[in-house]
A and B are shown apart, each in its own frame.
Chain A
Amino acid sequence: GNSVTQMEGPVTLSEEAFLTINCTYTATGYPSLFWYVQYPGEGLQLLLKATKADDKGSNKGFEATYRKETTSFHLEKGSVQVSDSAVYFCALLNAGGTSYGKLTFGQGTILTVHP
């Protein structure tokens, strides 16, 4: 079945540091890919998405490029802020089969940014 593997955390950075959170996937067909962010005590919010190979999703300074050749969707930000501290989830939308329309999530990566 489909699966998503995220870089293990937690990740601790100083403010203004560069962020990379790795995400690779295994899927049949051509899934859409997402990054969701979860702030403490809250539900998930869509951060960015990409629907086909070579698409780049971007939002709030975060970027991720859909790389079909490496089956990856790594999240990057050039300069993190304390307010970016949260849990980040990589996910794919199953494109077919019995799991059509369902999201498969990675395990989540906890990011803590210190002033």
Chain B
Amino acid sequence: NAGVMQNPRHLVRRRGQEARLRCSPMKGHSHVYWYRQLPEEGLKFMVYLQKENIIDESGMPKERFSAEFPKEGPSILRIQQVVRGDSAAYFCASSPLENEAFFGQGTRLTVV
């Protein structure tokens, strides 16, 4: 049973480009969460999705950030027009229930 799969593991983008981060939840998990971790800080909630629905996006910046979890395929976190402050590790977690969250290995985004 594969764990939560995130790709790419490392992503380098120039300022102004778009970053697309993908997350495939564990088999049987229909809840997906995205968190951001700045260097030497804790994880901050961004968005909670179920298939084809955004349940809670209260942690998502209002501009440039969007997320989706389509009926087929992985969940996508999209960051448009990236800036240096977007450099961070982005973690996806999935769960079959609302509390038992299992995390992926993360995508480390570097904006140059």
A binds B: no
Chain A residues close to B by CB (< 8 Å): none
Chain B residues close to A by CB (< 8 Å): none
